[in-house]
C-alpha cells in the first residue's frame, strides 16, 4: 500500500506532456475579470474562467503578492502554480488615492470583478459596489465571503473549515458514532468558487445579452456546500428524518469502501436491486438475494451493518486488481480507492490526460470540462509578481516612465 511520502519518479514517468497554448482561443475569449481575491475561493473562480479563456488579471499587493505565493510544500509553491495558471499578474495598492483611481480605470475595461474580503472592507477601500458600478454600469461584481453580505454573521470573518461545519457537512462526515471529520481539502472554498463562476457568467449574460445592468453576486462559503447536500432538508421537513454520520448511513446499501485481501481499498455503489443482484451474482453469493434481510433495497438499508460485515469478508477474498477486473467483466459499479500515486499512474487518467506535465516540468490537473470546438486549455503558467504590469497598464496608455514613477511611489 502506498505510503504518504515517497519518491514521485515512478508515478510521474510517461505522463502526457503539453505545451502552454497562449494563442488558443477559449469560449470566454474577450471576457476580462479583475481578481482582487486571495486564497482558494477566488482562486477557484478565476481558475474556472481562466481555463475557459477569460483574461483573468490578478491584482496583487506590491512587494507581497497573494498569500499562495508563500504557501509552500517543502519549499515548492505548488498552490500558486496550480491555482494561478491562465492568469496575468499586476501589482496595485488601491488603498492609496492614486491606486484607487487606477483600479477604477481598470474597472472600466472589465466585465467581472471578484473579491473575497470580509463584508465592509471593499466599501472602506474603494467605496463599495456603487462606486465601481458608477464607473462601469455593466460590471458584474462577485463577492465571496464566509457568511454572505447579509445576516447576523455577515461581519464575522470566515474560513472554509468553519463554513463546512456550519453547513452541516462536517456533522455527516466520519464514522458512525465517531467524531465529525473535516474535509482534507478546501472543500467549501472550492465549491463556492465554482458556484461563483456559474453565477458570474449568468450575471454577465444578463448584462451583455439581455440588455440588463451590472449587478452584485453574493456567494457565501457555507450555502453552496449546504445546497449540494441533496434532499436532506426536504426529507427532514417532511418526515423528521436526520441522516446519520457515515458513508450514506440510513440512505443506501450496498455502498461504501471495503478493504481487499492485499490491503488496498475499493469503493462500491450498488444500491439498486438490479446492481446489487449483479454484484452478488458476480461474487457467487446469489444466496444473499434470498436472505430476507437483504432481498430489497429497503431491507438492505435496514440491515446495512449486518450486510457490511458479510461484504467485508467477501472483499477480503480478492485482491484489488481482481476486484477491478471482476467489475470490468460484469459491469459492476466498483472502483479502486486512489491515492495520488495511484491516480498519477492510472491508465484512464493518462488516456484522458487528466493530469499533464507542462513544458516547464510543472505537473497540473488538466482543464475541465471538455468542450469539443473551443476546448479549455492551459494557456500560460502561473505568473511572476507584477509580471504583466507593463502589458496591462500599457493598455491604459501608461508608459514606461510613468509606470516607473508609480513603482517608486509604491502604487504598483
Residue 352 lies in a domain: no
Residue 8 lies in a domain: no
In this structure, the answer to whether residues 311 and 184 fall within a common structural domain is no
pLDDT in tens, 240-258: 988 888 866 567 899 999 9
Pairing of strands 265-269, 255-259: antiparallel
Query: What is the C-alpha to C-alpha distance for residues 382 and 79, in angstroms, rounded to an integer?
Result: 10
Phi-psi region at 91: left, alpha or beta (left = phi > 0; alpha = psi -120 to 50): beta
E strands present in 277-365: 334-336, 355-358, 363-365
Catalytic residue among 35, 66, 111, 189: 189
Residues near 315 by beta carbon (within 8 Å), at least 6 away in sequence: 258, 259, 260, 261, 266, 323
**C-beta atoms surrounding 338 within 10 Å:** 16
In this structure, the answer to whether residues 47 and 148 fall within a common structural domain is yes
**What integer pLDDT is reported at residue 252 of this predicted model?**
86
In this structure, the answer to whether residues 57 and 177 fall within a common structural domain is yes
Q: Which of 347, 372, 397 finishes a domain?
A: 347
pLDDT in tens, 158-168: 999 999 999 99
In this structure, the answer to whether residues 212 and 261 fall within a common structural domain is no
189 is catalytic: yes
**What integer pLDDT is reported at residue 251 of this predicted model?**
77
Helix (H) or strand (E) segment spanning residue 143? strand 140-145
In this structure, the answer to whether residues 79 and 220 fall within a common structural domain is yes
**What integer pLDDT is reported at residue 159 of this predicted model?**
95
**What integer pLDDT is reported at residue 1 of this predicted model?**
38
**Is the per-residue pLDDT at 3 higher than 70?**
no
Q: What percent of the chain has pLDDT over 70?
A: 97
Mean pLDDT across 359-379: 95
Residue with cell 446495512: 304
pLDDT in tens, 67-94: 999 999 999 999 999 999 999 999 999 9
In this structure, the answer to whether residues 180 and 325 fall within a common structural domain is no
Q: What is the CATH number of the domain that holds 17?
A: 3.40.50.10540
In this structure, the answer to whether residues 261 and 225 fall within a common structural domain is no
- Supply the DSSP symbol for 379: -
Residue 179 lies in a domain: yes
Q: Please state the domain count of the chain.
A: 2
Mean pLDDT across 387-398: 98
Mean pLDDT across 331-343: 96
Please provide the average confidence, as pLDDT, over all residues in the chain: 95
**Is the per-residue pLDDT at 118 higher than 90?**
yes
Task: Work out the pLDDT band at 10, boundaries 50, 70, 90.
Answer: confident
**Is the per-residue pLDDT at 5 higher than 60?**
no
Q: Which of 299, 321, 347 finishes a domain?
A: 347
346-352 contacts, C-beta under 8 A, 24 or more apart: 350/14, 350/15, 350/16
Residue with cell 429497503: 298
Distance of CA 351 to the CA centre of its chain: 22
Task: Work out the pLDDT band at 304, boundaries 50, 70, 90.
Answer: very high
**Is the per-residue pLDDT at 198 higher than 80?**
yes
**What integer pLDDT is reported at residue 244 of this predicted model?**
84
pLDDT in tens, 128-159: 999 999 999 999 999 999 999 999 999 999 99
Mean pLDDT across 34-49: 98
Residue 363 lies in a domain: no
Residue 375 lies in a domain: no
In this structure, the answer to whether residues 267 and 143 fall within a common structural domain is no
**What integer pLDDT is reported at residue 2 of this predicted model?**
40
In this structure, the answer to whether residues 213 and 295 fall within a common structural domain is no
**What integer pLDDT is reported at residue 319 of this predicted model?**
98
In this structure, the answer to whether residues 278 and 337 fall within a common structural domain is yes
Lowest mean pLDDT among 202-216, 224-238, 383-397: 224-238
Residue 371 lies in a domain: no
In this structure, the answer to whether residues 70 and 125 fall within a common structural domain is yes
Backbone CA torsion sign across 208, 213, 216, 219: negative
Residue 240 lies in a domain: no
**C-beta atoms surrounding 212 within 10 Å:** 12
Burial of 277 (0-12, 13-18, 19+ CB in 10 A): middle
Query: What is the C-alpha to C-alpha distance for residues 152 and 159, in angstroms, rounded to an integer?
Result: 16
Q: What is the CATH number of the domain that holds 342?
A: 3.30.1540.10
Mean pLDDT across 333-359: 96
**What integer pLDDT is reported at residue 11 of this predicted model?**
77
**C-beta atoms surrounding 102 within 10 Å:** 22
In this structure, the answer to whether residues 124 and 209 fall within a common structural domain is yes
**Is the per-residue pLDDT at 218 higher than 80?**
yes
Residue 238 lies in a domain: no
Query: What is the C-alpha to C-alpha distance for residues 344 and 32, in angstroms, rounded to an integer?
Result: 33
Query: What is the C-alpha to C-alpha distance for residues 366 and 369, in angstroms, rounded to an integer?
Result: 9
Residues spanned by the domain of 116? 13-230+382-408
Amino acid at each position: 500500500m502506498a505510503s504518504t511520502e515517497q519518491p514521485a519518479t515512478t508515478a510521474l514517468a510517461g505522463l502526457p506532456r503539453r505545451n502552454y497554448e497562449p494563442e488558443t482561443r477559449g469560449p470566454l475569449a474577450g471576457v476580462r475579470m479583475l481578481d482582487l481575491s486571495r486564497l482558494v475561493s477566488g482562486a477557484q473562480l478565476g481558475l474556472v474562467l481562466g481555463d475557459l479563456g477569460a483574461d483573468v488579471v490578478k491584482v496583487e499587493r506590491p512587494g507581497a503578492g497573494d498569500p499562495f505565493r508563500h504557501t509552500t510544500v517543502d519549499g515548492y509553491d505548488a498552490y500558486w502554480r496550480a491555482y494561478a495558471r491562465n492568469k496575468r499578474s499586476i501589482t496595485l495598492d488601491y488603498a492609496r488615492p492614486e491606486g484607487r483611481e487606477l483600479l477604477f480605470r481598470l474597472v472600466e475595461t472589465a466585465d467581472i470583478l471578484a473579491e473575497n474580503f470580509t463584508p465592509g472592507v471593499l466599501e472602506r477601500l474603494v467605496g463599495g459596489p456603487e462606486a465601481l458600478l458608477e464607473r462601469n454600469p455593466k460590471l458584474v461584481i462577485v463577492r465571496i465571503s464566509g457568511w454572505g453580505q447579509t445576516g447576523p454573521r455577515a461581519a464575522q470573518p470566515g474560513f472554509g473549515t468553519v463554513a463546512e461545519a456550519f453547513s452541516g457537512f462536517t456533522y455527516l462526515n466520519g464514522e458512525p458514532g465517531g467524531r465529525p471529520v473535516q474535509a482534507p481539502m478546501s472543500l467549501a472554498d472550492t465549491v463556492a468558487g465554482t458556484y461563483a463562476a456559474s453565477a458570474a457568467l449568468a450575471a454577465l449574460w444578463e448584462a451583455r445579452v439581455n440588455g440588463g445592468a451590472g449587478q452584485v453576486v453574493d456567494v457565501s462559503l457555507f450555502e453552496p456546500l449546504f445546497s449540494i447536500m441533496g434532499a436532506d432538508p426536504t426529507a427532514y421537513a417532511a418526515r423528521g428524518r436526520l441522516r446519520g454520520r457515515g458513508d450514506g448511513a440510513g440512505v443506501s446499501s450496498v455502498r461504501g469502501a471495503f478493504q481487499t485481501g492485499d490491503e488496498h481499498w475499493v469503493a462500491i455503489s450498488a444500491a439498486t436491486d438490479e446492481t446489487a443482484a449483479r454484484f452478488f451474482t458476480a461474487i457467487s453469493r446469489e444466496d444473499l438475494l434470498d436472505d430476507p434481510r437483504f432481498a430489497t433495497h429497503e431491507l438492505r438499508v435496514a440491515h446495512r451493518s449486518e450486510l457490511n460485515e458479510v461484504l467485508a469478508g467477501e472483499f477480503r477474498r480478492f485482491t484489488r486488481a481482481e476486484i477491478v477486473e471482476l467489475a470490468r467483466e460484469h459491469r459492476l459499479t466498483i472502483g479502486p480507492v486512489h491515492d495520488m500515486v495511484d491516480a498519477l499512474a492510472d491508465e484512464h487518467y493518462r488516456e484522458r490526460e487528466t493530469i499533464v506535465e507542462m513544458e516547464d516540468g510543472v505537473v497540473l490537473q488538466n482543464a475541465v470540462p471538455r468542450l469539443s470546438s473551443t476546448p479549455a486549455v492551459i494557456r500560460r503558467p502561473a505568473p511572476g509578481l507584477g509580471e504583466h504590469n507593463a502589458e496591462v497598464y500599457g493598455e491604459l496608455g501608461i508608459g514606461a516612465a510613468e509606470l516607473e514613477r508609480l513603482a517608486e511611489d509604491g502604487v504598483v
